Amino acid sequence: MTLTTWAGNYAYGAQTVHRPRSVDELRQVVADARHVRALGTRHCFNDLGDGPEALVLLDEIAPDVVLDTAARTVTVGGGVRYGALAEHLHAAGWAVHNLASLPHISVAGAVATATHGSGDRSTNLAAAVAALTYVGPGGELRQVARGDDDFAGSVVALGALGVAARVTLDVEPTYDVAQEVHDEVPWDAVLHHYDELTASADSVSVFTDWAEPTLRQVWRKTRVTSSYAPRTDLFGGTAAASQRHMLPGIDPVNATQQGGVPGPWHERWPHFKLAFTPSNGDELQSEYLVPRRHAVGAFAALRDLGDRIAPLLQVSEVRTVAADELWLSSAYGEDVVGLHFTWLPRQPEVEALLPTIEAALAPFDARPHWGKLFADVDRDLRRLYPRWDDFRALVARVDPDGVFRNGFLDRHVLRD
């Protein structure tokens, strides 16, 4: 059976796939390999996780969840899914600060690619990492922790530094969240009141096709306090009268509870329930993150392309992410706005359009999401990341023989 990405748009070409059942077995796999790459839940749309020889999946290694309430951290196996971790944490009275739209993704994979949720004050998932234990190129264990010289370069590392066997995350006491959906918010209101709109909840997702005069929907998620009250009007948009899916005509049965009903954080931050497969994989994804100060300009650039984007699009989602200091994070150094595209599974046409989108967003310093589709020819990403050369030097020092290198890294990060 051919191993593919979650969407089935890319088939991995590595000769061997390993599924170790313990960290010791994982160490032996790495020690024996000339080249090896780690895979998470394969919610990726390019060859980032592929390699010429061996792939290793961590899903059969026990999660071994260790909660340290004094340090306010949890340590888990890198292959555990966020949704499974969240259920464990909530049952113990604890939580993480945010979640991505899908709870099905692995901790190590999400961290390595700077995957994020939404919120003006919420950093991406990688920024909650307090420590990592990597299996290095010789099978040795190497730990890096917040405060170490190499830490900021070792979190969003694209698999270039080793296999993340254990991940330690910051936690906080559990809390409730309420989710509301508003329909048909006018674009003019977004352009004139974007800061107010995103500040109206702890997490705000705007859904659009870039061609219509109104937004399809706005999903707002708010930590519940004694002063919480649902909104009826949202800058001209009306509160949804029933449960919604962000795609027209799709049954919302797999969407998390809406309507302003408070519930546990892990049942509201994601858009989709852990118990359901969010879709059948018939989609492609791209995302570009622009500094927040460029948000309105980037919106205008994409709306100018709306007649070309919409025919290939299922939906586009706009979210905010707070700044961090992780070298290859898409939010390094300043707050950003994520411009996400869920495409129809028409890859040649999508890939033909991506250079046009990237040219339109180039004046706004758009950083592509590492795990999604972006123009793959003559991309020079160096200018977008101030610590680029520091990261390359770190990789050369940790993995001088290129055990974890692959085609993606050679094209986009480590090429001379």
Per-residue pLDDT of the chain (416 residues; tens, 9 = 90+): 589 999 999 999 998 999 999 999 999 999 999 999 999 999 999 999 999 899 999 999 999 999 999 999 999 999 999 999 999 999 999 999 999 998 999 999 999 999 999 999 999 999 999 999 999 999 999 999 999 999 999 999 999 999 999 999 999 999 999 999 999 999 999 999 999 999 999 999 999 999 999 998 999 999 999 999 999 999 999 999 999 999 888 899 999 999 999 999 999 999 999 887 666 568 999 999 999 999 999 999 999 999 999 999 999 999 999 999 999 999 999 999 999 999 999 999 999 999 999 999 999 999 999 999 999 776 789 999 999 999 999 999 999 999 999 999 999 999 87
Q: How far apart are CA 374 and CA 294, in angstroms?
A: 20
Beta bridge partners, 284, equal: 343
* Tally of CB atoms within 10 A around 262: 15
Are 321 and 123 within 8 A, CB to CB?
A: yes
DSSP 62: -
Are residues 275 and 357 both part of a single domain?
Answer: yes
Amino acid at 284: L
Give the chain's domain count. 2
Are residues 161 and 263 both part of a single domain?
Answer: no
Q: How far apart are CA 96 and CA 268, in angstroms?
A: 13
Q: Does 1 fall in a domain? A: no
pLDDT for the residue 279: 61
Calculate ∠ Cα 228-202-212, nearest 5°: 105
Q: Which residues contact 252 (CB under 8 A, 6 or more apart)?
A: 243, 244, 245
Are residues 167 and 197 both part of a single domain?
Answer: no
Are residues 137 and 201 both part of a single domain?
Answer: no
Task: Kindly report the CATH number assigned to the domain that includes residue 265.
Answer: 3.30.70.2520
pTM: 0.96
Q: Does 6 fall in a domain? A: no
Are residues 185 and 332 both part of a single domain?
Answer: yes
Are residues 212 and 328 both part of a single domain?
Answer: yes
Q: Does 8 fall in a domain? A: no
| Number of Cα atoms under 13 Å in the Cβ half of residue 411 | 13
DSSP E strand stretches across 227-312: 233-234, 237-239, 263-264, 284-291
Are residues 117 and 260 both part of a single domain?
Answer: no
Q: Does 14 fall in a domain? A: no
Q: Which long-range contacts (CB under 8 A, 24 or more apart) does 191-196 make?
A: 191/296, 191/299, 191/300, 193/235, 194/295, 194/296, 196/235
Amino acid at 4: T
Helix axes 187-198, 295-304, angle to 10 degrees: 150
Q: Does 122 fall in a domain? A: yes
| Number of Cα atoms under 13 Å in the Cβ half of residue 248 | 8
DSSP 14: -
**What would the two tokens of residue 291 be?**
């500094």
Q: Which among 368, 390, 408 is the end of a domain?
A: 368
Are residues 320 and 348 both part of a single domain?
Answer: yes
Q: Does 33 fall in a domain? A: no
Q: Does 229 fall in a domain? A: yes
Q: Which among 174, 197, 214 is the end of a domain?
A: 174
Q: How far apart are CA 363 and CA 347, in angstroms?
A: 26
Are residues 263 and 281 both part of a single domain?
Answer: yes
Nearest to 266 by CA among 72, 329, 275: 275
Amino acid at 24: D
pLDDT for the residue 1: 54
**What would the two tokens of residue 146 be?**
């917040």
- Burial bucket for residue 91 (CB in 10 Å: 0-12, 13-18, 19+): exposed
Q: Which among 145, 174, 203 is the end of a domain?
A: 174
What domain range is 154 assigned to?
A: 66-174
Q: How far apart are CA 48 and CA 113, in angstroms?
A: 10
Q: Which residues contact 348 (CB under 8 A, 6 or more apart)?
A: none
Are residues 87 and 230 both part of a single domain?
Answer: no
pLDDT for the residue 415: 81
